[in-house]
Chains A and B, each alone.
Chain A
């Protein structure tokens, strides 16, 4: 297979914003997300997409594989903004309520601490609105694994958020 069909290219073009959001969910940084997205598109152009598969799901899968197998191992993640390491940024005085910004920062930290496999399931289901069956197909895992990873991811984030909110009120 040497190239994408016109329909496949148009489908991917329309899906680029969603794919980019998935890349951002994976990498946590806009720059790394753009790198990942470009590599994904180039890989799709180079290797093509089978006529009998959904181009968007296939693109998600290629994107996931590139992140897991290639970019992540090159320590692109050292630039991850999910990893908000400087807690001084989140310091707040006693009168502070848990405003949206602080909450987002805490969520980002918690997201960064999730294992990749849980973060990917969470991104596809909770952010992208993919069904369990689609997510299972994209990640090439059983639907039952999707469910257990998703529950663990949400539980971990909920625990982290709840814990920090409690600390904030002490």
Chain B
């Protein structure tokens, strides 16, 4: 491109508009703008384009970022979220629910099943009654990799959401990070009841969740599968469906 002609002038005008010219170049183009009506008209066209673009995008855009997305950056992740699947085309939960539940199982059960929200039997953790638990369950998208910290001792990972006749339930993994006799891991399902996530099924597992080695759902004695089969009224939610519900506070 030679340093003359309409295309060169367009570039100069863009640089002028975007304040990318050196002072002497700026003076030169301002002198030309005084003398050349066509150049002035061209500059006005470009300014008009920019102004329309900015107002159009401003009207369509919103500063209201989905809560699920904000939560992703707000929570300290223990591990990278390499397999957090965001697109419906890549989403495992489009599988029939039973199949998706089978994929979600990651540990070998020790056989303990805890139902209800009353005081926890055995070593079922009190953290299930905490605000932090409810917050993560309400605001965090399902994932195959991301962990969300509940205080210093526990980490939680929602792995699946599905509809029921009375609302929604989410399957999750929970791990106690402290070392010692209380070290444990669980797989559970909590359902939303009066704006609280109430655990309906809880299965103690080995800490093999950390290996990320998936094992069949039947390995936990089928407790979660039985719950899903009895309560689910449809397929597991897609990322978009789940994000929408998170954004609307599960309403």
Contacts and interface: CB of A to CB of B under 8 A. Distances in A.
Are these two chains actual partners, yes or no? yes
A113 interface: no
Interface of A is mostly: helix
B79 to A, nearest CB: 7
Interface string B73-85: 1101111111010
A38 B10 CA distance: 36
B65 interface: yes
A62 interface: no
A30 B14 CA distance: 29
A9 to B, nearest CB: 5
Contact of B57 (A25, A39, A71): A25
Given A25-B57, A126-B50, A2 B79 contact: yes
Interface residues of B, number: 50
A24 B60 contact: yes
A37 to B, nearest CB: 7
A150 B11 CA distance: 8
With most chain B CB atoms within 10 A of its CB, the pick from A39, A147, A154 is A154
A38 B243 contact: yes
Interface secondary structure of B, over-half rule: helix
B50 A42 contact: no
Given A39-B87, A107-B56, A131-B20, A161 B73 contact: no
Interface in A28-42: 30-31, 34-35, 37-39, 41-42
Interface stretch (B41-49, B189-197, B222-230): B41-49
Interface string B60-92: 111101101110111011111110101101000
Interface of A: 2-4, 6, 9, 12-13, 16-17, 20-21, 24-25, 30-31, 34-35, 37-39, 41-42, 45-48, 71, 74, 100, 103-104, 107-108, 111, 122, 125-127, 131-132, 147-148, 150-152, 154-155, 157-158, 161-162
Rank and list the top 9 A-B pairs by shortest CB-CB distance, nearest first. Answer: A151-B10, A158-B45, A46-B82, A17-B63, A151-B11, A46-B80, A104-B56, A42-B84, A21-B61
26 contacts: A6-B76, A12-B73, A20-B62, A20-B65, A21-B61, A25-B57, A30-B62, A34-B69, A38-B72, A42-B84, A42-B86, A45-B73, A45-B77, A45-B80, A45-B84, A45-B146, A48-B80, A100-B55, A104-B56, A126-B54, A131-B18, A151-B11, A154-B49, A154-B50, A157-B49, A161-B52
